[in-house]
């Protein structure tokens, strides 16, 4: 009897340990595709209409290519951790002024929209979706482009 209970507990723990991998894979799958910048702010100030109009993000696997007004196009990689509260995202630009540097962030994914809040390289991860003056933090709200 004890063996059956022990085996049941071991199987339950193995199944539970696999759940975070499935959550990460699900979120990674949901991120795939092309996104348009719908809203955002940087250091407590709303993004301009030009920034919103020209903002575009393409995600394939763990790679991204983001185009922002006045900043050009930057490529990089992202790593998601949906097991954290709030969910975390780390990005590393492969080009541009932050090339090779990690920006720590948080994200929230709801259907065809997601928002992310990032801190500049070397700064602590944001704990909420808000920015303040001189924080260096930014928030982007992305809407999926229907293809």
For the chain, what are the domain ranges? 2-144
Asked if residue 34 has pLDDT above 60, the reply is yes
- Is 8 in a helix, a strand, or coil? helix
99 DSSP 8-state letter = B
Residue with tokens 């928002």: 115
Classify domain 2-144 by CATH number.
2.40.128.280
Per-residue pLDDT at 71: 85
Residues forming a β-bridge with 35: 57, 144
Bridge-based pairing of strands 56-60 and 63-68 is antiparallel
Q: 0.85 cut: is pTM over it? A: no
**Residue pLDDT, tens place only, 42-80:** 999 999 999 999 999 999 999 999 999 988 999 999 999
Take residue 133 and report the two structure tokens written for it: 């003056």
Asked if residue 8 has pLDDT above 50, the reply is no
Residue with tokens 């944001």: 126
Report the alpha-carbon angle 121-139-100, nearest 5: 25
The answer for residues whose C-beta is within 8 angstroms of residue 44's C-beta and 6 or more apart is 131, 132, 133, 135
Cα 59 → chain centroid: 11
């Amino acid at each position: 009897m004890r063996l059956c209970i022990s085996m049941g507990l071991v199987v339950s723990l193995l199944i539970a340990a696999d759940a975070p991998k499935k959550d990460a894979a699900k979120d990674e799958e949901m991120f795939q595709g092309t996104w348009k910048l719908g809203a955002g702010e940087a250091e407590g100030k709303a993004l301009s209409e030009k920034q919103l109009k020209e903002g575009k993000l393409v995600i394939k696997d763990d790679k991204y290519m983001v185009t922002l007004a006045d900043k050009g196009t930057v490529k990089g990689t992202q790593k998601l951790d949906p097991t954290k509260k709030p969910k975390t995202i780390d990005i590393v630009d492969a080009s541009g002024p932050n090339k090779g540097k990690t920006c720590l962030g948080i994200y929230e994914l709801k259907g065809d929209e997601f928002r992310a809040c990032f801190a500049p390289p070397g700064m602590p991860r944001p704990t909420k979706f808000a920015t303040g003056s001189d924080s260096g933090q930014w928030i982007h709200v992305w809407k999926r482009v229907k293809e």
